[in-house]
């Protein structure tokens, strides 16, 4: 087992990564605030891991809430159901929510924990590659609004994150690859060596080699933790983590949440961000091709979907949260392994990227 400490002063917490962690009671003991535990999971994950988790939680007062599976259910209404269950169980302020599932379950359970009695403890038990490398780190919780992704939420740090790599064995191939989209993002924005390592190890990773996966999750979390620690509420450096996301969110919202997986949309978004960076003269065309090659080697999309016109994409991007003083800000590349934020770029270049980097309609 590897342990990573996320340093956030009084809100610091640990991420535990390794095989068989669902059975390690002592990891849970340290994070539970009291005897009352509400496990939030979904229809897909619960049949696989709920029993094992309940056993580990022992004879505590454990309640379970099973949500429908899918990004389209990441809504305020579903969070209201979690809150109803907590009030219905008469859970007190020293209760703990345990999120067992992917990013959607984690975001919703975390947001419910942030709002219930103005904030109770929660433990994240991410069971997808995407949530292990991304959404369980950083304290972002929340839900989608019909008109925009993650528009409603809170910053609320977990008591700990328990990433059991065994749970990845049951992950459908498409979801596994989607997770690699976020992983590629970390290399691309922060660490060229890690990017090169991914180019080198893609075959082993796709075969889900456990040693490679542990290294991949650890390094991804480490990069994210480093950036989050420097900037807990996203005013500066943390915004770089949105590389590819302004494009990606527009794709997800435009197609309807759940049509493309988040990691797929981000993967295409990385390629669009690279293309835009090249058009602005910040990187070479060969760098763009290198990004596209790695994304394609994970069988992830390198273009926006044909059904979304450039105009529609622009419209969708205008609702995104990365807007300041009415100006659209996009994370751009200065090199492979080096991202920065810009709101002062040539809008025509953006329109060209949106026009050129999409599949045939």
Give the footprint of a copy of itself on this chain (CB under 8 A): 34-35, 76, 80, 83-84, 87-88, 90, 92-94, 114-119, 140, 142, 145, 147-148, 150-155, 233-234, 318-319, 321, 323-326
In whole angstroms, the minimum distance from the beta carbon of 58 to a copy of itself comes to 17
In whole angstroms, the minimum distance from the beta carbon of 252 to a copy of itself comes to 16
Residue showing tokens 């050129």 = 356
Tokens found for residue 226? 């480093």
Concerning whether 245 is annotated as a catalytic residue, the answer is yes
Concerning whether 289 is annotated as a catalytic residue, the answer is no
Concerning whether 234 is annotated as a catalytic residue, the answer is yes
In whole angstroms, the minimum distance from the beta carbon of 140 to a copy of itself comes to 7
* Active-site hit among 71, 78, 175, 182: 182
Concerning whether 249 is annotated as a catalytic residue, the answer is yes
Q: What's the farthest any 2 CA atoms get from each other in the chain?
A: 62
User: In the complex with a copy of itself, which residue's Cβ is closer, 94 or 169?
Assistant: 94
User: In the complex with a copy of itself, which residue's Cβ is closer, 3 or 233?
Assistant: 233
3-state secondary structure of 202: helix
User: In the complex with a copy of itself, which residue's Cβ is closer, 174 or 327?
Assistant: 327
Concerning whether 293 is annotated as a catalytic residue, the answer is no
* Active-site hit among 122, 219, 262, 322: 262
User: In the complex with a copy of itself, which residue's Cβ is closer, 86 or 129?
Assistant: 86
User: In the complex with a copy of itself, which residue's Cβ is closer, 23 or 34?
Assistant: 34
The strand pairing partners of 300, in sequence order, are: none
Q: Sheet containing 36-42: which strands, arranged edge to edge?
A: 2-6, 13-18, 160-164, 121-126, 96-101, 36-42, 61-67
State the burial class of residue 304 (Cβ atoms within 10 Å of its Cβ: 0-12, 13-18, 19+). buried
In whole angstroms, the minimum distance from the beta carbon of 234 to a copy of itself comes to 8
The strand pairing partners of 126, in sequence order, are: 101
Buried b (16+ CB within 10 A) or exposed e, 209-222: eeebbbbbbbbbbb
Distances (CA, A) of 255 to 185, 249, 259, 261, 262: 22, 10, 6, 11, 12
Catalytic residue positions, numbered: 118, 140, 182, 224, 234, 238, 242, 245, 249, 262
């Amino acid at each position: 087992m590897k342990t990573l400490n996320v340093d956030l002063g009084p809100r610091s917490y640990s991420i535990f990564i390794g095989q068989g962690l669902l059975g390690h009671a002592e990891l849970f003991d340290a994070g539970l605030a009291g005897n009352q535990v509400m496990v939030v999971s979904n229809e897909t994950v619960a049949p696989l891991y709920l029993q094992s988790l309940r056993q580990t939680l022992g004879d505590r007062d454990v309640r379970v809430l099973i949500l429908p599976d899918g990004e389209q259910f990441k809504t305020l209404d579903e969070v209201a159901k979690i809150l109803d269950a907590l009030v219905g169980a008469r859970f007190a302020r020293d209760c703990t929510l345990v999120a067992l599932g992917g990013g959607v379950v984690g975001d919703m359970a975390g947001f419910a924990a942030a709002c219930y009695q103005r904030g109770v403890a929660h433990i994240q038990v991410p069971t997808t590659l995407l949530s292990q490398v991304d959404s369980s780190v950083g304290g972002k919780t929340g839900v989608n609004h019909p008109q925009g992704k993650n528009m409603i939420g809170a910053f609320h740090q977990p008591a700990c994150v328990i990433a059991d790599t065994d749970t990845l064995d049951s992950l459908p191939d498409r979801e596994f690859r989607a997770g690699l989209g976020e992983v590629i993002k970390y290399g691309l924005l922060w660490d060229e060596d890690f990017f090169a390592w991914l180019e080198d190890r893609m075959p082993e990773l796709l075969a889900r080699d456990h040693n490679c996966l542990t290294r991949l999750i650890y390094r991804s979390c480490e990069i994210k933790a480093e950036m989050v620690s420097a900037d807990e509420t996203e005013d500066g450096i943390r915004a770089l983590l949105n590389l590819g996301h302004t494009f990606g969110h527009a794709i997800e919202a435009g197609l309807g949440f759940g049509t493309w997986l988040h990691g797929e949309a981000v993967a295409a978004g990385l390629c669009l961000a690279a293309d835009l960076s090249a058009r602005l003269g910040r990187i070479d065309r060969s760098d763009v091709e290198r990004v596209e090659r790695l994304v394609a080697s994970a069988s992830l999309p390198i273009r926006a979907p044909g059904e979304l016109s450039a105009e529609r994409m622009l419209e969708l991007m205008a609702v995104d949260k990365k807007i300041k003083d009415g100006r659209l800000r996009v994370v751009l590349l200065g090199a492979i392994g080096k991202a920065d934020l810009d709101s002062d770029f040539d809008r025509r270049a953006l329109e060209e990227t949106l026009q050129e980097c999409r599949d045939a309609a």
